[in-house]
């Protein structure tokens, strides 16, 4: 079983920045592609960003492209989501997820999930 624990969420003003972290344990971190998803109240969970197991390739959703970036540190078993120029519509619970194959935008294809961290952007 793989455990994922997110941190770094909080309340920030429009235009501010946050960096989310997700620490993985239980399985070899470098085997897994990692994704960040978010879910706002009464909305479906949506893909935000993904990174391949090697870290050489990333996929960023169009809604956040140019503002968010994803990276990973294999020495720390951690994947990061850097969020800049935050907007109120970025308010959501942010989840990290892991899957053995490459990055995918569909949440149901991921095998492991964290419990999420709340991000609130005030206007």
Q: What mean pLDDT, rounded, does the chain reach? A: 97
Q: What is the mean pLDDT of residues 43-47?
A: 98
User: Both tokens of residue 58?
Assistant: 């990333």
Confidence label for 71 from pLDDT (cuts 50, 70 and 90): very high
Is 90 exceeded by the pLDDT of residue 97?
A: yes
pLDDT value, residue 1: 87
pLDDT value, residue 67: 98
pLDDT value, residue 8: 98
Non-local CB neighbours of 36 within 8 Å, separated by 6+ positions: 20, 22, 47, 48, 49, 50, 70, 79, 81, 94, 95, 96, 97
What is the distance between the alpha carbons of residues 76 and 15, in angstroms, rounded to a whole number?
A: 29
Q: Model confidence over 98-121: pLDDT tens digits?
A: 999 899 999 999 999 999 999 999
pLDDT value, residue 101: 84
């Amino acid at each position: 079983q793989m455990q994922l624990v997110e941190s770094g969420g909080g309340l920030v003003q429009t235009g501010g920045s946050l960096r989310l972290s997700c620490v993985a344990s239980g399985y070899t971190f470098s085997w897994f592609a990692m994704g960040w998803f978010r879910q706002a109240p009464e909305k479906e969970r949506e893909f935000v960003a993904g990174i391949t197991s090697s870290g050489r390739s990333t996929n960023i959703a169009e809604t956040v492209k140019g503002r968010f970036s994803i990276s990973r540190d294999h020495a720390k078993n951690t994947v990061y989501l850097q969020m800049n120029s935050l907007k109120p519509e970025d308010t959501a619970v942010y989840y990290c997820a892991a899957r053995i194959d490459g990055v995918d935008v569909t949440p149901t294809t991921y095998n492991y999930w964290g419990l999420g961290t709340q991000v609130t952007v005030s206007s």
